[in-house]
Amino acid sequence: MIHRSILQGKLEILKELFNVSSSAGAEDITSNAPAAGAHNRSLLRDSKARFGGGLIVGLGFSALAFAGSASAQDAQPKRGGTAVFVLQEDPTYLTRDLTTNSETGTIGCILYQGLMGINAEGEAYPLLAKSVDISDDKLTYKFVLNDARWQDGKPITAKDVKYTYEEISGKHSPTFKRTLTSIDKIEAVSDKEIVITLKKPYGPILIALTCQQGAAILPEHVYVGTDPLTNKASNAEPVSSGPFILKEWVRGSHLRLVKNPDYWEQGKPYLDEIIAQVVPSGAGRTQALLSGQVDRIPWFALETSDYPLIERNPQLLLQPARKPPATDFISINTEKKPFDDKRVRQALMFATDREFLLKSAFNGQGAASTSPFAGGFPWAIDPEMDLSKMYPYDPARANALLDEAGVTRDASGKRLSMNFIIEPGEEGGSQIAAALKNMWEQVGIDLTIETIQPPLSTERIAKGEANIAYHGYSSGGDPAIGWSGQFVSTTIGSLRGNAARYSNPEIDELFTLGQSETDLDARGVYYKKAQKILGEDMPILTIHDPVDKEAQGAWLKGMENEYMFPTWRDAWVDK
């Protein structure tokens, strides 16, 4: 295993390799927390809440508790040691409740836990909650909390849950903000009991109460009366509920997280430390894994072009990422002329050779999108919808539509100029921008490419300052959580929300109906109808359905039941 005695040498090698700063000026932010006992959870696995279905089916008003995170390993976990994984950049915040940024989710879901967790099969299980009772009408959810404490020794209570949902996640999380609209009231009936009452059934409610979906519970006593965006617990000095606490953050270099001695799950975590090393270069990240300097590359930081290198190494594992379906798309600002005319948006789709983009930008990994939604939800996808047939690459058809819409060429042959915002961390973004600039010149459109770092990029897009922008977007595991944010009018102006600023009352109604059912087939009727409308209106150009993969050393164990953003509480090293 990677012992503490060699850790500093390992970090120094990484610093030298990637030209990052030394640890001078590092922030030591470990809290001197009072002792708190660890506690067992009730273990009952008869029933689970499944991704897509959202609700636990056929249980009436029943109590649920799950092991959820038990490792599938037969080998006995080894205690101690350090594991190192990579990030592309520093996290924007330290809680997922404020942003959908992947780096933030990766660190935030280690530090702050949700009422519910998600296992490798995409199933919800109680985490900070010990159990959940669900009424027969699927409107009332009663949660009993585990006996857990914050890093500063104060108990985690129902007041923390209520405050988080109403004052932080419900106002700032791009995903949970939509969930809150389905909630009628949140009641802290005692220190350890919280009751959530819905306005009507909401299909993915249990999935929505996870850290991954922007609903990690935060400490009321730390946040009350402050701005969550500037509170030190969000961006410098977290007060953790998770298995690790933040010991040191050297910005641009690494984050060091150490074992939480008062973590509530008895016997966990196994590791002494985990290190998140910031490595901006994709090639550098892969080389660090190949050389054994890091133990894991998460799905969002692994270049598809490097898959073959990892596959050829018998000491490494390359596996499909355990995460919700996603899509890569281009938003078109439908409020700006001439993009308010759907014929112009359709023309842009005809002018885009998506098969070429698949090969050039994504190395043939994944597939060109056939629907406004990514695959992965067969119950929600219209099998007759095929964007490749509806919008084959056809510059002549694109030119004809632009002429028909009155977007004519000037003396130089140019029809219009527009800006195109991409973020440097989005895989394929620069290649797609360069390819589109060439493709769209054939139909008289001149692109000005702007590469902008988040959060400035997301702020400008949310304000409507982009003509078009490139996005990698997660479904969140359910159309009501993820896809709705791209298309419903209530998320216009939200960070990572409706970037196209598209507003269609019929689409709003269909998404509302789709989330209000608990039967998958019934929900699918509404989403399939929505796809037909979106395929015609074309507010976004869906480019690519990725099949993301993650890589790690074969010596890293206990990650088998993690999902999307690992908690690391079951991880151990055998090296």
User: Over the stretch 315-351, which tens digit does the pLDDT of each residue have?
Assistant: 999 999 999 888 999 999 999 999 999 999 999 999 9
How high is the pLDDT of residue 26? 43
pLDDT tens per residue across span 272-286: 999 999 999 999 999
Pick the more confident residue, 73 or 307: 307
Distance, CA of 173 to CA of 336 (rounded, Å):
27
Contact 86, 301 (CB under 8 A): yes
Q: Percent helix, strand, coil in the chain (nearest 5)? A: 30, 20, 50
How high is the pLDDT of residue 42?
28
Strands 296-297 and 273-278: unpaired
Report the mean per-residue pLDDT for the chain. 87
Average pLDDT of the segment spanning 541-557 = 94
- Is there a contact between 126 and 65 (Cβ–Cβ < 8 Å)? yes
* Residue 6 host element (H or E): helix 4-18
Distance CA 2, CA 10 (A): 9
Q: What is the share, in percent, of the chain residues with pLDDT greater than 70?
A: 87
pLDDT of residue 192: 98
CA distances from 47 to 132, 183, 288, 455, 489 (A): 12, 24, 41, 40, 36
Per-residue pLDDT at 363:
86
More confident residue, 519 or 97: 97
**pLDDT: which is higher, 304 or 298:** 298
On whether the CB atoms of residues 285 and 302 are closer than 8 A, the answer is yes
- Of 523 and 64, more confident: 523
Ordered by where they begin, the domains of the chain are 4-320+550-573 (3.40.190.10), 326-545 (3.10.105.10)
pLDDT > 60? residue 91: yes
Structure tokens that stand for 444 in this block: 């008289």
3-class DSSP assignment, residue 417: strand
Strands 556-557 and 326-332: unpaired
Residue 95 confidence (pLDDT): 97
Give the residue carrying structure tokens 């000491």: 315
Q: Which of the four pLDDT bands, split at 50, 70 and 90, describes residue 74?
A: low
Structure tokens at 351: 């002018």
Burial class (CB in 10 A: 0-12, 13-18, 19+), 415: buried
Find the range with the poorest average confidence among 36-45, 86-95, 366-375, 389-398: 36-45
Q: What is the mean pLDDT of residues 92-101?
A: 94
The answer on pLDDT for 365 being more than 90 is no
Asked if the model's pLDDT at residue 450 lies above 90, the reply is yes
Tell how strand 273-278 and strand 82-87 pair up.
Answer: parallel
pLDDT digits 0-9 by tens, 210-247: 999 999 999 999 999 999 999 999 999 999 999 999 99
pLDDT in tens, 469-503: 999 888 878 888 888 889 999 889 987 889 999 99
d(CA 277, CA 3): 17
Lowest average pLDDT, out of 11-15, 20-24, 511-515, goes to 20-24
SS3 assignment, position 353: coil
Residue-wise pLDDT tens digits, 169-196: 999 998 898 899 999 999 999 999 999 9
Q: What percent of the chain has pLDDT over 90?
A: 73
CB atoms inside a 10 Å sphere around CB 339: 21
The single-letter code of the amino acid at 175 is T
- Cβ 418 vs Cβ 388: under 8 Å: no
Instruction: State how far the alpha carbon of 485 is from the alpha carbons of 56, 133, 350, 459, in Å.
Output: 24, 29, 25, 16
Query: pLDDT band for position 70 (50/70/90)?
Result: very low
Q: Is the pLDDT of residue 13 over 60?
A: no
Kindly report the number of other CB atoms within 10 A of residue 524's CB atom: 20
d(CA 356, CA 365): 12
Q: Where is average pLDDT lowest: 59-73, 104-118, 192-206, 316-330?
A: 59-73
- Exposure string over 240-252, b if 16+ CB within 10 A, otherwise e: bbbbbbbbbbbbe
Q: Which residue has the tokens 């005695």?
A: 5
Strand order through the sheet with 129-134: 62-64, 129-134, 140-145, 193-198, 183-190
- Whether a cis peptide bond, with omega within 30° of 0, leads into 455 is yes
Confidence label for 69 from pLDDT (cuts 50, 70 and 90): very low
Which element (helix H / strand E) includes 354?
helix 354-362
First-to-last C-alpha distance (Å) of the chain? 4
Residue carrying the six token digits 């922008």: 469
pLDDT at 374: 76
Rounded distance between C-alpha atoms, residue 264 and residue 40, angstroms: 8
> CA dist 400 to 346, 352, 545, Å?
11, 15, 29
Which pLDDT belongs to residue 57? 30
Give yes or no for residue 52 having a pLDDT over 90. Answer: no
Q: Compare 132 and 375 and report the one with higher pLDDT.
A: 132
Q: Assess whether pLDDT exceeds 50 at residue 28.
A: no
